[in-house]
Structure 1
C-alpha cells in the first residue's frame, strides 16, 4: 500500500503560500559579499604618460579621432565568418592591445603596445600571438619607447603612423582604394 502523507503535504504547501516569508538567505557564493568591489586604476603611470603623448600624435594625424586604451583584440580586427567565430574568440579572447588610435569614423589606424617585462614568459607568449594577428591586418603596430613622452606631436605622428603621405593629404576624409582623390 502506498503511504502518502497527503494531509502533511497539503498543509506544508498551504503554509508556504500563507505563512511568513523566511529571511533571504545569503548565498555562499555571493560575489559582492566575498569580493567587495572598489574602483581600480585603469592606467598605470607609464600608460598615462603614453596616453597623453599619443593623444598629441593622434591630433596631428586624425584631429577628430579617438584614442582607446586596453582594447580587446576582437574589437580591433574582423575575421571571416566561414569558420567558427567562437573558436577564434576562445584562442584570442584574452588578448588586448594597450592603445588603439582610430580615425573619426572609428576605424583603427594604428596600434601601440607597451613594452613587456623580459622576465615574464607568459606575457611574452601572449604578446607574440597578439603581434601575429595584428601584423596580418597590415595595421601599423608600434612598441612604445619611454623616451617618446618628451617628443613633439608631429614627431610622434611620424613614429606611430609611418606611412608616407602625399602633398595635400587630409587624414579624416574617408578614402576607398583605387579611387582618385
Structure 2
C-alpha cells in the first residue's frame, strides 16, 4: 500500500515558496519515535582485547588510574584560545584517541591508537591529523600492535610508560649501589 503524505508535502512546498519558516515545536518524543534507540556495542573484539591488556599495564603504573576508550581529542589536549577555539574544534572535533591511560587525578599519561586498515584512505588522513596534533604535545603516543596481547603486563607497561632519565642517572638501578 502506498503511503502518501500529500498535505504535508504540499504544505512544505508552499512554505518554501513563501520563504516562511515553520514554527513547529520539536518534541523529544518525536526523536524517540522516529529513531528508536537501542544499546550499541562500544568496543569491537580487537578493542576489547586491547582494553584488557592496557588495563593490566595501567594498574602496574597507576593503580588508581583510569582507562578511557574513544576519547575526543579536545578532552585530551588543550590549546590556547587566542585564536578561534570554534575553528579549532571544527578542524579536529571528530578526531578521537582510541585509549587514554590516565593517572588517579584524571591527567592523561599515555595514549594508544589502534591500527587503521590500508584500504581506508579517509581514516588514514584523520589518523595523520590526529598524530600531528598529538605529536606537538609531550604526550606518549603508542600505536597498538596486536602481538602485544601475548606480552606480560610488565613489558607492556614499559612500552606505554617509558622511564625518561637523563644521562648519568643510576639511582634506581640495582647495580648502582655506591
Secondary structure of the 1:30 match is helix
Between the aligned partners of 1:78 and 1:118, the Cα distance in structure 2 is 30
Alignment match, 1:83: 83
When normalised by structure 2's length, the TM-score is 0.75
Q: Map 1:6-45 to 2 at 5 A.
A: 30-45=30-45
**Aligned runs of 1:133-152 on 2, under 5 Å?**
133-152=133-152
Alignment deviations for residues 128-165 of structure 1 (CA, whole Å, 9 cap, x no partner): 00000011012110111111112111100011112336
- Superposition deviation, residue 31 in structure 1: 2.4
Q: Which residue of 2 aligns with 1:64?
A: 64
Q: Which has the larger radius of gyration?
A: 1
Task: Give, in whole Å, the separation in 2 of the partners of 1:144 and 1:42.
Answer: 18
User: Using the alignment, how far apart are the partners of 2:94 and 2:163 within structure 1?
Assistant: 30
* DSSP 3-state at the match of 2:81: coil
- Corresponding pairs, count: 144
Normalised by the length of structure 1, the TM-score is 0.74
Question: What does 1:99-178 correspond to in 2, within 5 Å?
Answer: 99-164=99-164, 167=171
Q: Identify the structure with bigger relative contact order (alpha carbons < 8 Å, sequence gap 6+).
A: 1
Query: What 5-or-longer segments of structure 2 have no aligned partner?
Result: 1-25, 173-178
The CA RMSD measured in Å over matched residues stands at: 2.1
What do the CA deviations read for 1:6-31 (whole angstroms, capped 9, x no partner)?
xxxxxxxxxxxxxxxxxxxx97x932
Stretches of structure 1 lacking an aligned partner (at least 5 in a row): 1-25, 169-181
